[in-house]
Structure 1
Amino acid sequence: MADPLDLVHLRTLVAIAETGGFRRAADSLHLSQPTVSQHVRLLEKRLKQSLVVKDGRGSRFTGAGERLVLEARKLLTAQDEVLQRFSVSVPEKLTIGSTEHAADGLLPDLLGALRAAYPEMWVQFRIDRSTSLAESVSKGALDLAVVLGGNADQVGAEVGSLNLKWVAASGWDLSTIDGPISLVAFEEPCGLRRRAIAQLDELGQAVTVSAESGNLDGVLAGTRAGLGIALLPFYGAVPEGLREITDLPAMGAIDVRLVARRGLDTEVEDAAVDAVSAHFAGRRRLQGVA
């Protein structure tokens, strides 16, 4: 018996046809563009035929690709009809994760929006690091998660952003540093840690990670204790006991994204995306940012 075609890969192929390109398909499916490209390559490997080829600066379907899109639509329609007959449209329980940086003020707004839309639903929250939350969503252990972006392989829908700031204890002074700069950071894997080290390295500054922690409270405590500087995302003002270091280049902002487990009801996902996006838009208005 021949190996079956992967329906996830077929859905990606159809999305490319319907949206008009790999990037738009990635956005509509909440996938990264490299993942979309990989799905197409795996289909081509399985069928031993080219399905999509480059055409100038864009791409186009081959004859085999166009035929497969037609057949894929039939298969996916049949699958969706079966799932609709055997699934409950709205889950009774929803488990949502949030990174520590984004949780402050956000979770009450998100909880209120979901309870208003689905009053019978029980909502449970988990606060953790972005890497752990994204992995839990991919495994189906979490329904939704609000995570920090900033990686090449982006997933989920962008719903807002947080300002990145260099912070240190009140007595820290860059001009007095003779030797490597001490950095307080999250344990690996951590995109913020790598971003901070890369920026300091670009400035010709040697870096030593003087303290690390698996959570935000630990990083803040180490920074307040004067163990080094830290690069962290903030909603607004720097927490008490710290001051922003403006002697180093501004690091801009990091995007906040909402990722959903595969198979979650799209209405629930859309309600969460709207609630989180509205929360960040409201904070921008309060801060006078367009």
Structure 2
Amino acid sequence: MTTSLDLEHLRTLIAIAECGGFSKAAAVRHISQPALSQHVRLLERGLKRKLFERDGRVMRLTHEGERVLAEARRIIGVHDASLHRLEAGRDRTIVVGSTEHSAQQILPEMIRALQAAFPDCSTRFEIGRSTQLAEAVTRGVVDFAFVLDPGGHGAGHLVGRLPLVWYTARGWRRPEPGGTWPLIAFEEPCGLRERALSVLTGEGHRVEVTAQSTTLEGVLAGVRAGLGVALLPSAGGRPSGLAVCGDLPEAGTTHLRMVARRGLPAEVERTALTAGVDFFEQRPHLQLVPARGA
């Protein structure tokens, strides 16, 4: 029997129990799954007891594992409370996610708000597509993220609405009447792509996706090259080298939401939401949603 317990191994055990699995726990702990499994093996070896057993495809805690988990929570609770009383807490990093569409405009506001509210915390940013960021928040890898929700029924706090605008290259010529409209879009799954196709086909236009990309820069490059039109949200300003296409029907707006991971401190969530709402309040041309305090 071991004479001491590794705190990081105990934290891993707690993470597995709270996340419901090894892979999610590895993401939350910011370690690889093999490293996480090694934590469990070393803990089992030191305590000379089996902590997990397989139940079909799922690994479940044994009776002894449940006992160790209870002790682990007590030990970590006392340890972290002592550090807090001694003001010796570990450096804290707030991980913020944002879609490419809103990063340039919203992230500067977020940096200022977080630095003012939490001067002892560092900030790290993750830029990606809305679906990827939402999954990262669910896994606990990202603390909170600003994501697009074209359907308007997603989870999280409504922050505001961004107008959807049709863009083309300067000097681009629209198809002849009855011709096919070439569309530049994000790869599936993508709510904006679905909205663009729905609006165009709903007006009786024939549509062909002539180019697609996983990134905003790729979509913009296709439009600048004159390969077709693209439907994109606007948070102010027009992408360089592009023109607004006024020949196509209005596509409405897309919701901008803030999703936060479970367990995020309330003060961090409030600060982030307030900064997001403030961004819209300072830009009256954007449609607002009364999200403060939501």
> TM-score if structure 1 supplies the norm length?
0.66
Residue 257 (structure 1) aligns with: 257
How much does 1:172 deviate?
2.3
Residue 46 (structure 1) aligns with: none
Rounded to whole Å, the distance in 2 between the matches of 1:110 and 1:223 is 30
How much does 1:288 deviate?
8.7
Q: Which sits farther off after the overlay, 153-162 or 206-215?
A: 153-162
How much does 1:266 deviate?
1.1
The code of the aligned residue for 1:107 comes to L
How much does 1:230 deviate?
0.4
| Contact 1:95–1:143 (CA under 8 A) maintained in structure 2 | yes
Residue 121 (structure 1) aligns with: 121
Rounded to whole Å, the distance in 2 between the matches of 1:109 and 1:153 is 26
Rounded to whole Å, the distance in 1 between the matches of 2:286 and 2:244 is 20
For residues 128-169 of structure 1, give each alpha carbon's deviation from its aligned partner in whole angstroms, at most 9, with x where no partner exists.
Answer: 111110011011111110111123541110112211101111
Rounded to whole Å, the distance in 2 between the matches of 1:222 and 1:235 is 20
Residue 232 (structure 2) aligns with: 232
Task: Compare CA radii of gyration and give the structure with the larger one.
Answer: 2
* CA distance 1:159–1:237, change in 2 (3 Å): same
User: SS of 2:269's equivalent?
Assistant: helix
For residues 213-269 of structure 1, give each alpha carbon's deviation from its aligned partner in whole angstroms, at most 9, with x where no partner exists.
Answer: 000000000001011100001122322221111111112221111100011111110
Determine whether 1:168 maps to 2:168: yes
Rounded to whole Å, the distance in 2 between the matches of 1:148 and 1:261 is 17
User: SS of 1:172's equivalent?
Assistant: coil
Determine whether 1:222 maps to 2:222: yes
State the Cα RMSD in Å: 2.8
For residues 33-83 of structure 1, give each alpha carbon's deviation from its aligned partner in whole angstroms, at most 9, with x where no partner exists.
Answer: xxxxxxxxxxxxxxxxxxxxxxxxxxxxxxxxxxxxxxxxxxxxxxxxx9x
Residue 182 (structure 1) aligns with: 182
Residue 100 (structure 2) aligns with: 100
Residue 20 (structure 1) aligns with: none
Unmatched 5+ residue regions in structure 1?
1-6, 8-81
Task: Map 1:1-290 to 2 at 5 A.
Answer: 92-151=92-151, 153-174=153-174, 176=176, 178-284=178-284, 287=285
* CA distance 1:289–1:133, change in 2 (3 Å): closer
The code of the aligned residue for 1:190 comes to C
Q: Which sits farther off after the overlay, 229-238 or 268-277?
A: 229-238
The code of the aligned residue for 2:191 comes to G
Question: Identity of paired residues, percent?
Answer: 45
Rounded to whole Å, the distance in 2 between the matches of 1:280 and 1:196 is 24
Rounded to whole Å, the distance in 1 between the matches of 2:214 and 2:175 is 30
Rounded to whole Å, the distance in 1 between the matches of 2:240 and 2:125 is 26
User: SS of 1:97's equivalent?
Assistant: strand
| Contact 1:160–1:281 (CA under 8 A) maintained in structure 2 | no
Rounded to whole Å, the distance in 2 between the matches of 1:261 and 1:270 is 13
How much does 1:279 deviate?
1.3
Paired residues, number: 211
User: SS of 2:151's equivalent?
Assistant: coil
User: SS of 1:176's equivalent?
Assistant: coil
Rounded to whole Å, the distance in 1 between the matches of 2:176 and 2:280 is 38
Rounded to whole Å, the distance in 2 between the matches of 1:143 and 1:170 is 40
How much does 1:175 deviate?
5.3
| Contact 1:162–1:254 (CA under 8 A) maintained in structure 2 | yes
The code of the aligned residue for 1:93 comes to T
How much does 1:113 deviate?
0.8
| Contact 2:152–2:255 (CA under 8 A) maintained in structure 1 | no
Rounded to whole Å, the distance in 2 between the matches of 1:199 and 1:288 is 21
The code of the aligned residue for 1:255 comes to H
Residue 14 (structure 1) aligns with: none
How much does 1:92 deviate?
1.2
> TM-score if structure 2 supplies the norm length?
0.65
The code of the aligned residue for 1:240 comes to S
| Contact 1:97–1:145 (CA under 8 A) maintained in structure 2 | yes
* CA distance 1:171–1:151, change in 2 (3 Å): same
* CA distance 1:138–1:184, change in 2 (3 Å): same
* CA distance 1:132–1:281, change in 2 (3 Å): same
Unmatched 5+ residue regions in structure 2?
1-17, 19-73, 289-294
